[in-house]
Amino acid sequence: LFRKSLPRCRRINRMLSNESAPPPAFSRSNSQASMDSTSMEDFWCEVESIKESSEDGSEEATLLEFKPADEGELEAEWLQDVGLSTLISGAEEEDGQALLSTLTRTQAAAVQKRYNTYTQTLRKKNKHTVRDVRDIFGTSDSSVTTASCNVTDLNMIQICAAWGRVILGLGYEKRILANHNRLFKLGKRVQNRNMLWFTVKFLFEALPFKLSQDFCHLANSCLDCGLDKGSPSVTEELSYEVSFSESITVLPKTQEWPKNQRFKKEDSALPKFIVRKSRFGLTEVGDLSPEDMKKIRYLSLIELTAFYDALGVELKRNRVERVRGRENGLFGVPLTILLENDQKKVPGIKVPLIFQKLLLKLEETGLETEGILRVPGSASRVKNLHQELEAKFCEDTFDWDQVRNNDAAGLLKMFIRELPSPLFTVEYLPAFITLVEKISKIKLQLQALHLLIMLLPEANRDTAKAFLQFLKKVVANEGKNKMNLWNVSMIVAPNLFIYKGKRANQQEMQAAATTAHIVRLLIRYQDILWTVPSFLIAQVRKMNEAAMNNSKRQLMFDKGVRKLLRRKTMERERPERPEGAVTFPPYLQSDIPEGVIRVYAPLHSKVSMAIQLNSQTKAKDILARFHCENSHGSSQKMRGQIQSLHEIGGNIGQHCLDPDAYMLDVYRANPQAEWVIKP
């Protein structure tokens, strides 16, 4: 089934005008069903503005083709998206094995569940023999038969989960032993002993964590994360050392927001979160190499799926077969194509130049404009400016002084709406909506949102970050522009999200409030959302180590390599240098004692220094020492650059270290790394 989709603005208008009841009148007195002391007036005004811009032809149609999923296809696509396509092909590739070896219990259960469904589908279709799930996870219990997870078996999963909660919650060891036989009888009844075996194995492995007070405290803090009605703003600490799905030991009550659920517009209605820094510091998205970020994306999808499974929520996604957009120009062009063209002019650029220029224009002159983003510009002027930009921007002959602030805001929103694929991607838009509609705790919403941000393609994630940083500045100038966090969220939401139309006015209002709440979370917690969780980085390190070990074992069977190794016997073994590593003369490459690192600074006058680490040495201490040693010999240009300490090679591709990272801990986690100071 294929359908030709109009631009999102036109689809929203159709939902509101043709397929559903008319939107509520712009009256604050009609909004109390879903809002607290405010209305969605700004939201519906923005929808009306989008409608007008689409009707006058200033926005072009984008063709999205959707393909319905056959049975098992969603699971096959999921396995491919998480980097486990080898489970489908049957090949024994190193990357898939390395990934599987790093999974937590909940992540492994999520993979097993999807693989079981996929294999059951293949058996029904009689396509080919599939691998036993025990072969994937390295189990050898011959008494357990291969099982698959179909619709009926989902009841078994829920029953086992319920047993797990009872067992782990009350007298763990005795309860497990006492109910062992009953569990297996239950497994026979639903014909799913394989899932039963996996659950029992999980329960026994979970005991050490259950007995740990630290783990219990972390689990309780994760679950008791919402705000009581009417409670003042509180500050809560976030920790990224344990995966989100593993932190959920008690299944919270999940339900849709009640129809009369109210989203409070006040900023104080949102809790204040602070991120607890581990001894490795914090890592932002841009601090890791593209190769490692690809692995972060694999792991994030597995973790998100396990997280939703633990909450009893279905992770929905759209299947888009093809997105047709323009291949040249500015508006309606895919972000990847825009960046390819812009990088020819400005190498390394991460956000399209036209988008940067629109943001810069508004930041320079529009942040204090009253009603910025809310008050629309002239439709005719915006249309003419749009055409003029397409003709003159690339030649750098466009006159930005003629652009009024409200018109620039209109162009900015038009750019976002006309993207062939939404900024937060067509595939995962349902997941964004679900995290609010099905998850009531703010902290759990934030954790799901965090993983969704990690899933975004690089171009989308970088562009979204630039946009949210601008929106944060708009909110910071609320005193002059009269645009608070909720106002901005209501205006931006219809430009970012597609949602299914509802029949009743009250349901329409709830859908509108849902998307506005998502935008509010994105703006408020953007600094947290663009930080890579440390448990994912730890898994990437394990993946790289497993891949290196596999490669070493394979190399031992290569006779040619053996001869080369014999010639190199007297030379010190060094890890393969990844991209970004620096080559230094032999007199600087001597063996280094334990606890001592040699730091290279190729741009400084003193290019190398051996540093003895202790438990309190931080990355910023090493930077300060180099700065002191080279304060007189460095060039003026280099002094103006912001330098960072980078961890390169070993079990990581390239990692820009947090200045507060404790170096002895980082060194012990990756003793084979090289340490380089560079911009």
* Domain annotation covers residue 181: no
Across 208-222, 287-301, 419-433, least confident range? 208-222
Q: Which residues contact 404 (CB under 8 A, 6 or more apart)?
A: 377, 381
Residue 311 and residue 330 in one domain: no
Answer yes or no: do 46 and 106 share one domain.
yes
Distance of CA 533 to the CA centre of its chain: 10
**Which helix H or strand E contains 297, and what residues bound it?**
helix 290-311
515: in domain: yes
Residue 197: pLDDT band (50, 70, 90) is very low
Q: Which of 69-73, 156-160, 654-658 has the highest mean pLDDT?
A: 654-658
Select from 506, 539, 562 the last residue of a domain.
562
DSSP code of 651?
Answer: T
Question: Considering only CA atoms, which of 295, 282, 239, 277 is closest in space to residue 652?
Answer: 295
477 plus 542 within the same structural domain:
yes
- The pLDDT value recorded for residue 97 is 81
Among the candidates 521, 540, 562, a domain finishes at 562
CATH of the domain at 662: 3.10.20.90
How far is residue 360's CA from residue 504's CA, in Å, rounded to a whole number?
Answer: 41
DSSP secondary structure of 165-229? HHHHHS-HHHHHHHTHHHHHHHHHHHT-HHHHHHHHHHHHHHHHHHT-HHHHHHHHHHHS-SPPT
- Identify whether residues 610 and 529 lie together within a single domain: no
Assess if residue 361 is contained within a domain: yes
For residue 579, how many C-alpha atoms fall within 13 Å in the half-sphere facing its CB? 5
Lowest average pLDDT, out of 189-198, 404-413, 646-655, goes to 189-198
Q: What is the pLDDT of residue 12?
A: 39
Domain count, the chain: 3
Answer with the one of 521, 546, 562 that is the final residue of a domain: 562
Whether residue 26 is contained in a domain is answered as no
Residue range 512-535, pLDDT digits in tens:
788 899 999 999 999 999 999 999
Q: Are residues 75 and 112 in the same domain?
A: yes
Report residue 72 as tokens.
């098992």
Tell whether 94 is covered by a domain: yes
Higher pLDDT, 289 or 72: 289
Could you tell me the pLDDT band of residue 579, with boundaries at 50, 70 and 90?
low
- Say if residue 333 is in the same domain as residue 384: yes
Nearest by Cα to 506 from 47, 92, 32, 15: 32
Instruction: Report d(CA 355, CA 338) in Å as an integer.
Output: 10
**Given a cut of 70, is residue 47 above it in pLDDT?**
yes
Q: Give yes or no: residues 307 and 437 share one domain.
A: yes
Residue 345 pLDDT class (50, 70, 90 cuts): very high
Give this prediction's pTM. 0.74
Q: What is the mean pLDDT of residues 409-426?
A: 91
Flag whether 458 is in a domain: no
360 and 445 co-located in one domain: no
pLDDT of residue 134: 52
Q: What are phi and psi of 6, to 5 degrees?
A: -75, 170
The percent of residues in the chain predicted with pLDDT above 90, rounded, is 42
- Mean pLDDT, the chain, rounded, equals 74
Q: Note whether 404 and 435 are same-domain residues.
A: no
The predicted structure's pLDDT at residue 94: 61
Alpha-carbon distance of 308 to 431, in angstroms, equals 10
Q: Is residue 31 part of a domain?
A: no
Point out which residues pair with 64 in neighbouring strands.
Answer: 323
Q: Is the pLDDT of residue 354 over 80?
A: yes
The residue among 146 and 360 whose pLDDT is bigger is 360
pLDDT value for 29? 31
Same domain, 497 and 546: yes
Residue 54 has pLDDT above 50, yes or no: yes
Q: Let me know whether 394 and 432 are in one domain.
A: no
Given a cut of 70, whether residue 65 has pLDDT beyond it is no
Most confidently modeled range among 209-223, 312-326, 547-561 = 312-326
Closest CA to 374 of 345, 401, 409: 409
**Cα–Cα dist 413/12, whole Å:** 15
* CATH number of the CATH domain containing 361: 1.10.555.10
Least confident of 162-176, 309-323, 459-473: 162-176
Residues 238 and 350 in one domain: no
Q: Which domain holds residue 390?
A: 324-420
Domain-located, residue 8:
no
